[in-house]
Every structure is written in structure tokens, then in C-alpha cells.
Chains A and B, each alone.
Chain A
Amino acid sequence: MRVQKISPANTEAPSVEPVDLSLMDGLIKSYRGKKGNLIPLLQGTQEIYGFLPREAILKLCSETGHDLSELYGVATFYAQFRLSPTGKHLIKMCHGTACHVLQVSEVTEGILDYLEIQEGQTTPDRLFTFETVACLGCCSLAPVMMIGDEAHGKLSPQNALKIVKDIRRNEISLLTSPTI
């Protein structure tokens, strides 16, 4: 079912990092009083922070007149909205029909095993978040995944793993290389 339960951790604990709520002022102003503004407001908020921080939803509630239940109701219904931050690299693995027929599940298994996380989770080093999506619409390149804005097609368990490993290696070398 589309509607997801939210864990208490999401609604009670404040965000780990402080949230600069003033970033939302322009957004709220541009949609104030407009019919059907709830989803664009949430989309805009997520664009700013990368997810929907609790504080931001509370601000939307107090400044736009939408009920908190309404805001959370919509935020938990649509796949696009996240209530917690993602890792630096968001892996969207396509599980559309064409990808499924070409055995994407083996590719997924391989990457999840390597990252030691489950679907929808973020690695402890906050480098990767792994999600499966219904269809990216480039079926003739199946199996396909998007990492950030880049699509990678014709995946096999081996070449997909290599792409992910290369990203991690680059990130580690960035961290360890001396700054000039």
C-alpha cells in the first residue's frame, strides 16, 4: 500500500543537523494562498534540504494553514518525499518490467550485499542510499540504475558493482589525499 507508517524517531527527535528555516521563506511566499499548493510546497522544501525535516514541516503547518496531519498524510503517500536525509550518492535501481525480465534482482542483491544495507537504507558512512524505483523509462537499456543524475545501462552484477566500488574508491581517495 502507498501509505507508509512513520517511525516515532522521525516525528519526535529533532534533526541531527540544524535546519535553516529562513531558506523556505521565498518558497512559502510564492505559493501563499494558491489553490493546490501543498504538494509544490513539499517539493520545494525537499529541494532545499534534500529531505523533509520535521522543523520544516512544522513551519509549513504554522505558516500556510495546512494541518500537520494533512502535510504528513501527503508526505507519506508519495514516493518522492523522504523524511530522512539520503547519502551523498543516491542509487535508484530500476525494477520496471523490462529490468525485471533481464534479472535486475541479481544486480540489486550484489550491490546490497556489498554495501551491507537493505533497500531504502543509507550506509553508515553516509555515502550511499539505495532505492528501487518502478521505472526510469529507459527500458531498452535494461537493467538500468541512476546514481545521482547519471544513468547506467546494460548492467550485470559485475559491472554494476564495479561502478559503485569506483565511486567509493574515489570518495576515499578524496578524503585521504592531502589538500594543496
Chain B
Amino acid sequence: MSKTVITVGLGSCGIAAGAAKTYSQLELIKKADNLDFELKKTSCVGMCFREPLVEISDETGTWLYGPVDVARADEIVEKHIKNFSPVQEYLVLSDSVSTADRSFLEGQVKIALRNCGKIDPESIDEYEAQGGYDALRKIVSESLSPQEVVSMVSASGLRGRGGGGFPTGQKWNFARHSQASQKFVICNADEGDPGAFMDRSILEGDPHAVIEGMIICGYAIGASQGYIYCRAEYPLAIKRLAIALSQARQRGYLGKDPMGMDGFFFDITIKEGAGAFVCGEETALIASIEGQRGMPRRRPPFPAHSGLWKSPTIINNVETLVNIPQIVLNGPEQFASLGTDNSKGTKVFAITGKIRNGGLVEVPMGISIRDIVFKLGGGMSGNKNFKAVQLGGPSGGCIPEYLANTKVDFDSVNATGAIMGSGGMVVMDESTCVVDIARFFLDFTQKESCGKCTFCRIGTKRMLEILTRLTEGEGCEGDLEKLEELAIHIKDGSLCGLGQTAPNPVLTTLKYFRSEYEAHIHHKKCPALLCKKLLTYTIHQEKCTGCTACFKGCPADAIISTKRQPHSIIEEKCIKCGICFTKCKFQAILIS
């Protein structure tokens, strides 16, 4: 009889949902009732919408439960462990029973996330048991030369997953052929796109895979030192990376002659970022590691020729690097068999916003946006209709519902005016105002602009001012043309990706939702009923019972009240705070 194992998902998102409390509760019950099961930790499996997740695996198979709070943990132990009767009510997945949540996994192909939510990220043994460090072993046993490794990566067709989509093998080739006594590998873990969290999940869930990818890169280009530049906002990721690094050193994967690779030395240091979105840009990131303000510089020279301390440097994103061991181990052909002509392999997307099943999904390139939203994501979270997705964060753009059959690969997404970016996909429904979204992103890029280039520094501010005016009902004729003109100049006049892409959210929403902008300007109306200052509150005379609840709540004395008579709102006095709407129990407050 196999031993029963209970595994709790303890990624940052799980912990935020209360997984640590669930874990302690299980520990407590196990001790108190002297139960015979093994309690284990893992990381995020991607099904964030059901966190905290608890998996029970026993002789009947595996049973995934969620959300499991402390009370439910008690109940599940009582029923499932003590009485061998699975609790259908909280069941997310099982081998034997079909559940609605299964659709979330159908169509997913896990390469980058293969170990996330499966192994204990703090155990090198569990990583090795899944074939961890076997790619390094293969390089040694088959005596693959650095050039052969580079060629494998090139043949796989892997393109950078951080946003740019530059062919990884080509980049490595540049660095490999740069003559220098010292070269560097940097893992870009400065995931700053608000709405993307796949890198965090990988770092927390499978840190050894990132390390293995970096060692292979170091070997391929001839580097001796690696850096992981990780956001300080990801303390758990940093902690698990540090644990993994010391384990890898102990086992001889890092340091002098790893795995007996003669004459090769490689070690890795963690550098904590200090909070600046622009440091995701490679030259700014380098400046930051060097201890300066994170300001980008002109390219060329590209970092592969002259990067950190003027040495050839490869900067790869987390998701790019975790694909490397699998490419080396299984051969480039297997990776290249997935995806489309110009975009090979899989891509991880973080689906969030107005979506039922928010979380992380890894799908082959070329799947449609509609499939991600409706098949995997389960459709909208509320009862409103799907309106658009924002892809690529502040550098990306809005793709409207009627283009939802667009395939997610680098070229198809770029053709819409959005970008793949790091894979943040924010789903919006009819109650999301695109002008407000554009304003939100401009507010972000304007604050995060490092200030070096004038157009980015001042241009984003002017754009933000116009957008803010629009959402406040102060828009005027010519504003849209001004936005477009500024957008062109900012794109042309900025050194780095931040400025060059900052206008994208505005340009794409203008392209696909121009009438919504026009409604804000000409009719002073927000079609999504979101921009507060553009709303009109009225009271439905038949529905109003004259209960005075709205009158008592109104902070502006804007409601005329006679007891048991229908009330009314004085529009001039109304400050549009919405309190009357929340106070009314009879749905008598109308918003238009």
C-alpha cells in the first residue's frame, strides 16, 4: 500500500489566499490525531482561482481540493483521510471523477511550468527525480561542445520570452563569438509588468530549472559568472533561489568543473532589484547591477558584445531559461514541433481580470485568444460580455472581442498593434472603460519613465493629462489627434523599449474603440459607466419607496426627500459618489 501524501500549494499567491494557515492546520491535525500521512509543500500549479489548493494522493489516485481554508481542511481530513470518502464539493481535479475545472488543463502543454506545483521547490532531490540536471549530464556524457549547444538552441527556434522575442540562439551566438576574458549570464527576473506573474511562479516553483538553464548558457557562451536580477517584491522567490543555489553548489553543479566539465567555472549571485520597471530593459538592468540609477543607454553596442562592466553579457528572461534544459535534454526538434512557423514552443500566460478561472496557463504558440479566455479561462467572471484583452501590459495593447480569433504567436499579436510581452493577459468585460485603461497604463509608464529622454519624460505626462481630462468630462475637440501626434513622437524619440512602446495602449484602444473616446468627448458619457464624473444619477419614480436611506446617506444634500414619496436627485448638487446607489435596497437608483 502506498503511503498517503498531502501536498499544500505554498506559492506567494497560495499564501496570500491563506495556504500557510491551511498547512499549519494539517500539521496540527496530523499530530493531534496521530494520522499516518506525509505532509508536503509544493508551489503554484497555476490554478490560482482555487487557491489554497491541497492535493491528496493515496492508493485511489490523486485528489486536488480547493479552495481549502482551515475549516475545510478539517472536513477533508475527517472525510477523505479518516473515512476514505472523497469530498466532492471541494474537488477541483481527480483521476477518477470528472470535474468542471478540468477544462483549465485541457490544451495545456507544460514545458516551462512542468515542475511547478508538482515538486517541493526547496528539495534538489525532487528536482533531480524529475530529470533535473540531466541536461548538464547529457552535455558531459555526449561531450557536446559549446557551439553544439548554441546550435541546439538555435534549431529549437526559441525566442526570448521577456517581451522582445529575439531568437535566443542567435543572441548566444553573438556572445559566444565575442572575444573577452570575462563574460556574464544574467537572468532577468525583474518581472515588472503589472498583471504578469509567471516568472515569480517559476522562480518559486522550480528554481533549479532556472539555475540549470543559466549554467548551460554559461557553458555555451563561455561565461564564468551569472547574476539573477530579481525584484525585491518577490521575497519568497529570492529565498527559494538562495536555497537552490547553495544546494546546487553542494552537489557540484556550480563552481569549478561542474559535473567534470573540464576547465569550466560557473557561479551565480542573486542581485535584488530595488524597484524600477525600466530595469527590465537590459541596458538599464546592467546599470542597476553596476550600482547606478537604472537608466538605459544607446544600443549598439548590444550587451552580447559589451554589457556588464563592458564584458559580453547574455540577458535572458526566466521563462526563456527554464526552456533550455528541456531543449538540450529532449532535442530541439521536440520543442520546435510545437507552435507556429515563426514562434516555436509554448508560452505561459497569466490570465487575470474579469475572468472566471484566473491563473497561469502554458499553451502551445498559435492557440487563439478566444480559446484561452473561454476554454481554459472558463469565460467571464460576471454576467457581462467579453470586450477585450490587454496583452503585453503597459507596452502592449488592447485586442477587441472581434479579433479574439487572433493566434497567440509573436507575428499575429504584433499585427494587431499589441505585443506578446511577457504574457500578461488582462481580460475585460463591458464594464471596463478603455479610456480609463489607457489612462491607467499611461499613468504607470509616466511614473516609471527614467526621465532620460525628453519625449518619454514629458510626452507621457502630456498624454496622461489629456486622458485624465477625457475621463473627467473635460475632453475637447482635437484631443484625439493630439494624442496620436504625441504617440508618434514618443515612439520615435525614446531610447528604450519603455518609451518606444508606452503609447501602445492608447494607440490600440484608439484604433479599436475610437467611438468610446468620442463619447467621452462629444457626449460627456462613459459607455462602460465607469468614469465617475461622467455619470448621471436619477431615481426611478415607480421603484422608489421613499424609505429615505439614500437621503440619509447623501453627503452632498443632493436628494429631495419627502417620507414615503418618491425621492429625486438635484443634478447640480450631486457629487457622483455612488453612496445612494449602494444604500438603495430597491434598485431605484439609475446610473446613465
Contact = CB atoms under 8 A, between A and B. Distances in A.
Interface of A: 1-3, 35-40, 42-43, 70, 73-74, 77-81, 95-98, 100-102, 133-142, 144, 151-153
Nearest to B446: A1
Contacts of A135: 192-197, 233
Interface stretch (B160-168, B208-216, B347-355, B481-489): B347-355
Nearest to B429: A101
Contacts of B13: 137-138, 140-141
B338 interface: no
Interface in B393-410: 393
A169 B441 CA distance: 37
A134 B190 CA distance: 13
Contacts of A70: 292
Contact of A98 (B195, B234, B290): B195
A133 B233 CA distance: 10
B82 to A, nearest CB: 31
Interface string B118-129: 000000000000
Counting chain B CB atoms within 10 Å of each CB, the highest count among A70, A78, A96 belongs to A96
B49 A137 contact: no
B317 interface: no
B171 interface: no
A144 B274 contact: no
Contacts of B275: 78-80
B376 interface: no
B188 interface: no
Interface in B414-445: 424, 426, 428, 432, 437, 440-441, 444
A165 B193 CA distance: 31
A77 B450 CA distance: 8
A140 B195 CA distance: 9
B426 A98 contact: yes
A74 B288 CA distance: 9
A78 B279 CA distance: 10
A97 B12 contact: no
Contacts of B49: 140
Contacts of A140: 13, 48-49, 51, 352, 358-359
A137 B197 contact: yes
Contacts of B282: none
B191 interface: yes
A79 B16 contact: no
Counting chain B CB atoms within 10 Å of each CB, the highest count among A43, A81, A97, A139 belongs to A97
Considering the complex of A and B, which 9 residue pairs feature the smallest CB-CB distances, nearest first?
A79-B275, A140-B48, A96-B194, A151-B16, A38-B291, A78-B274, A140-B358, A97-B195, A135-B194
A144 B13 CA distance: 10
Nearest to A77: B293
B193 A39 contact: no
A37 B271 CA distance: 10
